[in-house]
Amino acid sequence: MNHGSVLHGDVRLHYLERDALEPSHHVPVCIVPGMGERASEYEWLVDALPERHVVVVDVRGRGESDAPESGYTWEDHYGDVAAVIRATGSDRPVLVGFSRGSSYALGFVLAHPGVARGIVMGDYHARHVGLAAEAVEHQLNQTIRGVAMSERMPEHAVRGVVAESVEVPLWDRLGELGVPMLVIHGGRRSSLVKDDVVERYRAALPSVDVHQLPDAGHDLWSDDPDAYLAALRPFLDRIDG
């Protein structure tokens, strides 16, 4: 596993990268973690895809990337993804997002037609969610996989993400994608994608592939990574074909 960095404007971004263990035709993968997540939390997924070139992005304010005082718009974040993909020479990857990272992945694919070969939405709507001011305290009081958000992101970065968020509905733009989409969601109460959201995906993009993990909540993979991989791998294999 290699660590790398690239500048997006004045912001230094950290990423993890691993080449395929041997030359192959397998499509590369770019992983975009969710709010407060670090790239290092996805090392298990990188290791589970040894046949692929895999990159994991620490977007601004997260992990080992810089946390500027401002610059936390949707466009700033999917620009981070673009900067890392350019730096790593990833050849038309599949974007694999989780939670809020899914909207960054979706923004990248829409803004750069022809650059991606597919997208995975990890338990998230086809929208960039505009956050109300009270979301700051909610986020700061969260604990994700036993680690408090206050240890995951500087407070000013959390406040920046909330303050600079604007609701961007993307349902009507799914037809522009031109690439396969997989939606993975949980079956438990904490999942954000319920039956009505699944139906909205299918109405907006009839070709969408939807996979439910019945025993997972919003955190799709921590309790059963094999179930998550059983949803992800066939999608990647179909794109390889």
For residue 104, what are the domain limits? 2-240
Give residue-wise pLDDT tens across range 195-239.
999 999 999 999 999 999 999 999 999 999 999 999 999 999 999
Provide the pLDDT confidence category of residue 137 given band limits of 50, 70 and 90. very high
Q: Say how far apart CA 46 and CA 189 lie, in whole Å.
A: 28
pTM over 0.75: yes
Residue 231 tokens read as 């949803």
Place of tokens 């406040």: 159
Percent of the chain scored above 90 by pLDDT? 96
Provide the pLDDT confidence category of residue 52 given band limits of 50, 70 and 90. very high
Among 16-30, 67-81, 118-132, 148-162, which is the least confidently predicted range? 16-30
**Considering its fold, how many domains does the chain have in total?**
1
pLDDT attached to residue 21: 76
pLDDT attached to residue 24: 75
CATH number at residue 61: 3.40.50.1820
